[in-house]
Amino acid sequence: MYKVLLGAIASISVLTACSGTPEVQTGDDAEVIMGGLNRVDNSRADFAYIDPQADFSKYNKVLLRPLGVDNVEIIQPSSSGSMNRHNRNWELTDADKKNLQDAFRDAMVKQLEDKGAYPVVTEADDDVLLITAVLTAIAPSAARDDNRSRPAGRSRVYTEGAGSLVVMVVYGDSETGEILGLIKDAKSSTSTWGSNNSVSNMSDVKRMFSSWAMQIRKGLDRVHGK
């Protein structure tokens, strides 16, 4: 039973093994943070910590906080990638932040509620898992798709996808506020060369959000024996 729960915890934490099975550190030498979260080894995430005693099988619903977008590190595209060394620096506008939050929520609702039968609710309860995600960094592959950021007269810019995103996800009990898991994970967009514009970039972002949401849904499925 412990091995099954351990595997489910690893899955629910958006963890995919790089080599071997994700394994929670235990014993006196275990790396523990926040008083009860143990590090998970063999994960592709930048880092992952979990409460080894957490029972995710009790959670049938999800309380989803808006994606945090207030302190995002923006890694500016290189001059070679953006085709112009004088490009204006990337910044997230209020409209950008709202679009990112909407895209993240849409992806989570589609995977959890529509495909996974885990209702996304607005009230805490003893069977409600709290998910709080924060966008910590973005690395666009080209300058913004606007007249001030791209070279005059250049109608199209081609890149290998939109770039990459880094998200930190915290899992908690919605009633007690107890933190059950914490991960930080990075995803890159498609490696296929194509036109880089606001439409293609948002499509890539939605695919990355959907990938995270699908992994969370599959983790919940596993812990519920689906």
| Neighbouring C-alpha atoms within 13 Å toward the C-beta of 45 | 27
Q: What is the pLDDT of residues 82-138, one digit of tens each?
A: 444 445 678 899 999 999 999 999 999 999 999 989 999 999 999 999 999 999 999
> Band of the pLDDT at 156, cuts 50, 70, 90?
confident
Q: Please, what is the end-to-end C-alpha distance for the chain in angstroms?
A: 16
Q: Residue 73 pLDDT more than 90?
A: yes
- Domain span at 132: 60-223
Q: What is the pLDDT of residues 194-209, one digit of tens each?
A: 777 888 889 999 999 9
Q: What angle do CA 145, 151, 153 make, to 5 degrees?
A: 100
Residue with more model confidence, 20 or 61? 61
Q: Does some domain include residue 165? A: yes
- Are 83 and 151 in contact by the 8 Å Cβ rule? The answer is yes
Spatial separation of the C-alpha atoms in residues 85 and 93, rounded to whole Å: 22
Q: Does some domain include residue 13? A: no
Q: What is the pLDDT of residue 85?
A: 47
Q: Which long-range contacts (CB under 8 A, 24 or more apart) does 147-150 make?
A: 148/88, 149/87, 149/88, 149/90, 150/82, 150/83, 150/84, 150/87
| Neighbouring C-alpha atoms within 13 Å toward the C-beta of 9 | 28
- Are 116 and 220 in contact by the 8 Å Cβ rule? The answer is yes
Q: Residue 3 pLDDT more than 70?
A: no
Q: Does some domain include residue 105? A: yes
Q: What is the pLDDT of residue 5?
A: 42
Q: Does some domain include residue 18? A: no
> Band of the pLDDT at 4, cuts 50, 70, 90?
very low
Q: Does some domain include residue 155? A: yes
Please state whether beta strands 158-160 and 193-195 pair in parallel, antiparallel, or not at all (unpaired): antiparallel
164 Cβ contact partners less than 8 Å away, ≥ 6 residues apart = 138, 139, 186, 187, 188, 189
CATH of the domain at 150: 3.40.50
Domains: count for the chain:
1
Q: Residue 40 pLDDT more than 60?
A: yes
Q: Does some domain include residue 148? A: yes
Residue with more model confidence, 81 or 95? 95
Q: What is the pLDDT of residue 155?
A: 65
Q: Does some domain include residue 76? A: yes
Q: Does some domain include residue 33? A: no
